[in-house]
Every structure is written in structure tokens, then in C-alpha cells.
Amino acid sequence: MPLQCLLYSDNSAITRLTEELAAGEFDAIYLDSVRSIALLRALRARLPHARITVDFDDLMSRRMELLAANAWPIQLGHIQKLFPPFVRRKVQGSWSRRIARYEATALRSAEEEVCTLADAVVLVSPIEAELLRQRLPAGACEIHAVIPAQMNERKIIHITQPIRFVFVGSDGDGQNRQSIDFLLALWRGKRSNCELHFYGRQHRAYEPVRNVFWHGFVENIAQVYTDDSVLILPVFRAGGIKTKLLEAWGYARPALINPLALEGLSLDEYPLAIKESEWGEILADPTAYQSSCIRAAEIGLRFVVQNLSYDSYADKWIQIVLGKCGRTHQDSGRGGSNNFSNLAVE
């Protein structure tokens, strides 16, 4: 059993939930993540004919494999409060790689068992959905990929000069911390008048860097995506979908990203997907890339409008949970038929 699944395996709670669901005579049940495997086992034994959908979100075994392979520390997230400080330090320090290796193996087995017990499993990334399918025997459950919905907050693409770069995210997340450290090193070493603005709660103290500004948490994200803003997003860990990228596109903002940030989105024509080692030229003179910024914002906004509406997202989930998709695999993010005639470029 994966260690993180043990945290959700209380026998008394599982027995109570199973009996309540059985008494309610529900036709369809939704469970959150592979961590609910103990509850799934009990439900399937008690309710053999109920339709059960498990939302994996990301492929957790892959995440742990990457942590172990790269010796990245485990992040405990919201469950860290369950552990005394010395255990947290060990888990995120000297024990981290060993735990990640164990979890990768245990989670892989748990994911495959879930796919034999559930009727449908959902991930956010089409790539991770396909990786899971390839591991499963014939006759396993439906595997779906549903990219998160994103409201398009603007219809007009307007980019003003001088451009400022923005990053959104807290350093409490390991992926964000890695990106923040990379960007700070980049700004320390480059000779440019471009500004870099960080938004989100930060837990570390940072030394001042020229043209770097810290804003903390903001209630209204529209304050971030102003007409002179370009999201800058170096991604170093594969997996899932980068929702902050979708958010920027929904505000009609371009994003300077490395290719890994596009994983699962099938947008090979995106003009600002550039290796992070080659960002120096665009950061030195972003005005020379005005046309690329406009094109990037146009492609991103179109992707959000055509593929990620809340109505489409709701319809997909209703069909999956209620079983109206049959045994086919429905992947979002691969085109759309929505009318996009209301796009304007300034």
C-alpha cells in the first residue's frame, strides 16, 4: 500500500461511508485520487453494480518516479501538519529519495488495481492518460483525459510596451520553487531593463535583485495580467497540465515558456515555446518579438475558447460519471468547433 494511501484507509470511516452509500442506492459514485483505493475496494465489494469514477488528476506514480530519479525532495503539502517537525525534516531530506522510490512502485500497483475495480479513471493530461492505458491489460476500465476548464476573461489581444514578465505561484510548491530559483539566477546574470514580477505567497526571504519585484498574494488575478504583462514559465518537472499557463491565455496574455510547459496540450505551432537556455535574446529585447507575442496570445486564447469552456467541461464530466460515453476514450484538448469570430487583435 502506498504510504499516502494509508492516510485515507481508516477502517471505521470506510465502513461508515460504504454503508451510507449502499443505503442511499446511488447509481454513480465519484472518488478523488488513487489515495481512495481502500474505500474503492470496500465499495466494489458492497456495491458490485454501481458505476464508480476515480479522478486521478495527475499520474502519481510518474511524479514519484521523477522525484526519485532527480533526487528532488518530497513535498508534504497540506498533510505536513500531521507530522512532528523532525519527521517532516527527515521525509523532505535524507529519507526523501527512498520514500519516493517506494511510493513510485506502490502507486504504480495501486493505479493498476484501481483500473480493475473502477468503471472510469480520469486524468488531466492526455499524455498521462495514454501512458496509463499502455500499462493496462485488455478489459480494464475506461481511461479519460479532461483538461481543466478555463474562462476566457478577454476577447481583445492588446500588448503594450515596455513589456514586463510575470510569474504566478508560491515557493511552498517544489515545482514553483525550482522555477523561481531559475528566474532569479537568470535576472542576476542578464543585462536587461525588463522587469520581473512575482505574485503569490512566498515563504523564503530573497535578496534584492535589480528589476525584480515581489507582490505577494493578490485577490484579483486581473491585477497580474495587465496589457504589458507576459507570463514567464520555466517548467522542469513533467506531469499534468500547467493551469497557470491556461489562466494567462484566458486573459489573452502571451507566455514565454519552455517546451515541457506544453506537455499534453498539442500546440506544436506555439511561437514562444523556446528552450530556457535560449531565452537570453528575447529577454534582452522583447520588443523585437512583438509579432510572436501577439501570435502566442492569439493561439492561447483560441485554445481556451475552443476547448476549455465550463459548459464543455461539465458535459464531459457528466457523461463520464453517468457512463454515457460507452467504452470509448474521450480526450479533450484536441480541437474544437466553437465559433471564434469575436477575436480582435490590436
CATH of the domain at 179: 3.40.50.2000
Neighbours of 206 (CB within 10 A): 13
- Same-domain status, 94 and 237: no
Instruction: Supply the range of the domain harboring residue 99.
Output: 3-145
CA distance 155 to 338: 14
Give yes or no: residues 19 and 116 share one domain: yes
Q: Is residue 334 part of a domain?
A: no
Examine residue 272 and state whether it is found in any structural domain, yes or no: yes
Query: Do the domain assignments include residue 203?
Result: yes
Residues near 193 by beta carbon (within 8 Å), at least 6 away in sequence: 162, 211
Alpha carbons 256 and 267: distance in angstroms, whole number: 14
Same domain, 38 and 117: yes
The DSSP bridge pattern shows strands 120-123 and 142-145 to be: parallel
Mark whether 99 and 197 lie in a shared domain: no
DSSP 21-67: HHHHT-SEEEEESGGGHHHHHHHHHH-TTSEEEEEEES-HHHHHHHH
First to last CA, the chain: 55
Which 3 state secondary structure label does DSSP give 319? helix
pLDDT value of position 336: 38
Residues 8 and 107 in one domain: yes
Assigned domain for 279 exists: yes
Q: How far apart are CA 67 and CA 75, in angstroms?
A: 10
Q: Are residues 165 and 137 in the same domain?
A: no
Sequence-ordered strand ranges (E) for 60-157: 120-123, 142-145, 156-157
Residues 238 and 110 in one domain: no
DSSP letter, residue 80: G
Within 10 Å of residue 93's Cβ, how many Cβ atoms?
A: 11
- Tell whether 290 and 264 lie within a shared domain: yes
| Same domain as 196, residue 119 | no
Q: Tell me, what's the pLDDT at 192?
A: 65
- Based on C-alpha coordinates, what's the Rg of the chain? 22
**Cβ contacts of 302 within 8 Å, gap of 6 or more:** 340, 343
Output the tens digit of pLDDT for each of the chain's 346 residues: 998 899 889 999 999 999 999 999 888 999 999 999 999 999 999 999 999 999 999 999 999 999 899 888 877 766 677 777 877 777 777 888 898 999 999 999 999 999 999 999 999 999 999 999 999 988 889 999 999 999 888 888 999 989 999 999 998 888 899 999 999 999 998 766 799 999 999 988 999 999 999 999 999 999 999 999 999 999 999 999 999 999 999 999 999 999 999 999 989 899 999 999 999 889 988 888 999 999 999 999 999 999 999 999 999 999 999 986 443 333 433 333 333 333 333 3
Domains held by the chain: number: 2
For residue 113, give the nearest of 34, 18, 3 by alpha carbon: 34
CA 128 – CA 134 distance, rounded (Å): 10
**Whole-angstrom distance, CA of residue 22 vs CA of residue 14:** 12
pLDDT for the residue numbered 155 = 85
Cell of 314: 461539465
Give me the residue label for grid cell 537556455.
277
Whether residue 280 sits in one domain with residue 221: yes
Q: Are residues 15 and 126 both part of a single domain?
A: yes
* Same domain? 184 vs 138: no
pTM of the model: 0.84
Do residues 300 and 340 touch, judged by C-beta distance below 8 A?
no
Beta strands in the chain (DSSP E): 28-32, 51-57, 120-123, 142-145, 156-157, 164-168, 195-199, 212-214, 229-233, 255-257, 344-345
Alpha-carbon distance 221 to 167, whole Å? 12
